[in-house]
Structure 1
Amino acid sequence: MDSHGLILTLGKVVIAAAWADGRVSDEEIDSVRDLLFYLPQVGQEQGVRLNEQDWQLLELYMLTPVGEEERQRLVVELQGVLRHPADKALAVRAIENMIMADGVVTPEETAVFQEIRNAIESVELNFFSQFSWLVSEAVRRRIAAVAHAPNREQYFDDFIKNRVYYAVCQRLNMEETQLDMPEQELRKLSLAGGLLAKVAHTDRKVDEREYEAVVQALENFWGVDRKTAVFVTEVSLMAVTAALDPYRMMRQFTQATNREERVRFLDILFAVAAADGCVGYEEMEQIRLLAQGLNLTHPEFVNAKLQIPRAQRAN
């Protein structure tokens, strides 16, 4: 029994089921996390644990809605890792528990639960099903049917290294639109938006002045039109939180820019921090850490800080 494969795949399907009605409530999010925390215990005797990359992969499905086609692809993936009746029972129970999490079961959730349960129960288990390399004709047909379904895991590397670019691409796909700029420039713009959002989120609230400061920074510093700047700002502020570790964004931004650009970017970071009238201590410290991560010197940080009037700087 591939306990790790079962647990990880079931986790994805549980999350997909949570998106049945197009939204995920706080109770459902908590339930999903509890279920995913519990599921590894199923394979505890085999030493199964979800590692950091596994949790990041599951988070990939938590952030944006999982549509019908993508859900069907995940269900087929789950069908392929069921080996025993106990696996099927575990899968049905986990999805049912999630559906019931917030105490309100919508018609959409009922329909999705029935769809997934039927798919799970339709899997024929026999001696040969224990061997994953023995793929039946029925399984081949199921796999072929969802071969072209959406698969966000293709962008997992971007999700890890450039969270905003990943979110930009997801939203562009959902809205079936495009931004008129080369991919590499959009990647760099997304990194800039992510770092600016990190500063804006430092005090865990973003007001209209900070929002507008990020928009203007992207417009003026990167020379993009307002529509593009607003789009990237909105995505950045949603994709990046105060808790997000900016390490990978800083590394990617450093590789994508020259030193002069990064020194000038410090001024932009301070401008966003000062947009609400004051650069607080936490914001100051956040920018100092970003400056270090961008391979800039302490004197360069101090020089940028001094561009902000003394009355607007925390002691």
Structure 2
Amino acid sequence: MADRSLILTLAKVLIAAAWVDGEVTQDEINSAKDLLFHLPHTAANAPGMRLTSREWSILEMYVESPVDAAERARLVSELQTALRTPEDKALVLDMLEEVVRADGAVSPEETAVLAEIKESIDQADTGLMGKLSRLFGGAVERRSEAAQGPNRELFYDDFVQNRVFYSVNQRLQAEGKSLSLDDGDLRKYSLAGALMAKVAQTDRTVTDAEFEAMAEALQERWDVARETAVFITEVAVSQISATQDMYRMQREFASLTSETERERFIEVLFLVAAADDQVSFEETEEIRLLANGLNLSHSQFIAAKLAAAGQSAP
């Protein structure tokens, strides 16, 4: 019976295989989830994997952005090491077929990668000699080689606490680019982008005017280059969602900024909300909650609101 480690590693490989044609369909995602829900969880002797929130988040990391050949090779190597019995191998091969065919069409790229993974799985030794090899160094050597490949899980904390920063770095790495910003500044600007996007998306739509206001805020308030400001804004708008942990983002932003900087940032949030010529009650309430989360008083919130409107506090 497959163990927890094998199932989780298999799920990552399934997602990686689904990415080979450049996209992951909802059918492919659902097929991978079915694997986790319906295979037996041996530790609890109950049907279905009881994943922790951290484990779900780690799988989400692979669903969110493409998995390249080098990272896929690392995952396949880890899967080889996790195999213990012929039944494990049969399970893996069956699930690979099911997920790749889940969307009803198998591309040439998927066919090639499926054959590549199958060959690797077929080569895994689940007999006595394979177990001895894992025990006395074979698995250690394979894990050492695999560790040299890309591993997004090393950046799990950023994925959870500062999703925009994580995604900016993922895109830069994929495109072979870099920004002329130090790590601390990029973290802060990414958080600012995420919080601005949160306000802009209060009505579920980010208008062109709101997008421009966000980019201009990064340029004018923090002297960020135009191209970089637009890039961060694009990532922020694409990543913000109700599932993100706003409390963590507010806490980190507060730790990276001064009180005065945060007061001025609340003004920025009102300017973003007003970019489409009106600030709704819902947007005002969202900004109030963010101000509270940034350790600002109600009077500071009111002062920022008036300043953004070109008025002075009484």
1:30-82 per-residue CA deviation (whole Å, 9 max, x = no partner) reads 33333333346566517962101111111111111000110010000011111
In structure 1, what is the equivalent of residue 198 of structure 2?
Answer: 198
In structure 1, what is the equivalent of residue 230 of structure 2?
Answer: 230
Q: Identity across aligned pairs (percent)? A: 49
Aligned residue type for 2:55 = D
- Residue 201 to residue 30, structure 1, CA distance change in 2 (3 Å): farther
Q: Secondary structure at the match of 2:203?
A: coil
Alpha-carbon distance between aligned partners in 1 of 2:141 and 2:112, rounded to the nearest angstrom: 23
Answer whether contact 2:11 2:59 (CA < 8 A) is retained. Answer: yes
Alpha-carbon distance between aligned partners in 1 of 2:18 and 2:263, rounded to the nearest angstrom: 44
1:111-166 per-residue CA deviation (whole Å, 9 max, x = no partner) reads 111111221122111246568960553x4554454442111112112112211111
Alpha-carbon distance between aligned partners in 2 of 1:297 and 1:291, rounded to the nearest angstrom: 8
Over the aligned positions, Cα root-mean-square deviation in angstroms equals 2.4
Q: Provide runs of 4+ in structure 1 moved above 6 Å.
A: none
Answer whether contact 1:7 1:40 (CA < 8 A) is retained. Answer: no
In structure 1, what is the equivalent of residue 188 of structure 2?
Answer: 188
In structure 2, what is the equivalent of residue 209 of structure 1?
Answer: 209
Aligned residue type for 2:113 = V
Q: Say yes or no: does 1:159 pair with 2:159.
A: yes
Alpha-carbon distance between aligned partners in 2 of 1:55 and 1:279, rounded to the nearest angstrom: 36
Q: Secondary structure at the match of 2:124?
A: coil
- Residue 49 to residue 158, structure 1, CA distance change in 2 (3 Å): same
Q: Secondary structure at the match of 2:66?
A: coil
- Residue 13 to residue 199, structure 1, CA distance change in 2 (3 Å): same
Alpha-carbon distance between aligned partners in 1 of 2:20 and 2:43, rounded to the nearest angstrom: 28
In structure 2, what is the equivalent of residue 61 of structure 1?
Answer: 62
The 5 A counterparts of 1:1-315 are 3-39=3-39, 41=41, 44-45=44-45, 49-127=50-128, 134-135=135-136, 137=138, 139=139, 142-307=142-307
Alpha-carbon distance between aligned partners in 1 of 2:236 and 2:299, rounded to the nearest angstrom: 29
Alpha-carbon distance between aligned partners in 2 of 1:4 and 1:285, rounded to the nearest angstrom: 44
Q: Post-superposition shift, 1:184?
A: 0.9
Answer whether contact 2:9 2:79 (CA < 8 A) is retained. Answer: yes
Aligned residue type for 2:287 = I
Alpha-carbon distance between aligned partners in 2 of 1:283 and 1:33, rounded to the nearest angstrom: 35
**Alignment gaps of 5+ in structure 2:** none
Q: Post-superposition shift, 1:100?
A: 1.1
Answer whether contact 1:73 1:149 (CA < 8 A) is retained. Answer: yes
Alpha-carbon distance between aligned partners in 2 of 1:56 and 1:249, rounded to the nearest angstrom: 16
Q: Secondary structure at the match of 1:274?
A: helix
Answer whether contact 2:14 2:96 (CA < 8 A) is retained. Answer: yes
Q: How many residues align?
A: 309
Q: Secondary structure at the match of 1:209?
A: helix
In structure 2, what is the equivalent of residue 313 of structure 1?
Answer: none
Q: Secondary structure at the match of 2:278?
A: coil
Answer whether contact 1:99 1:105 (CA < 8 A) is retained. Answer: yes
Q: Post-superposition shift, 1:218?
A: 0.8
Q: What is the TM-score with the length of structure 1 in the denominator?
A: 0.90
Answer whether contact 1:40 1:50 (CA < 8 A) is retained. Answer: no
- Residue 308 to residue 223, structure 1, CA distance change in 2 (3 Å): closer
Of 296-305 and 67-76, deviating more is: 296-305
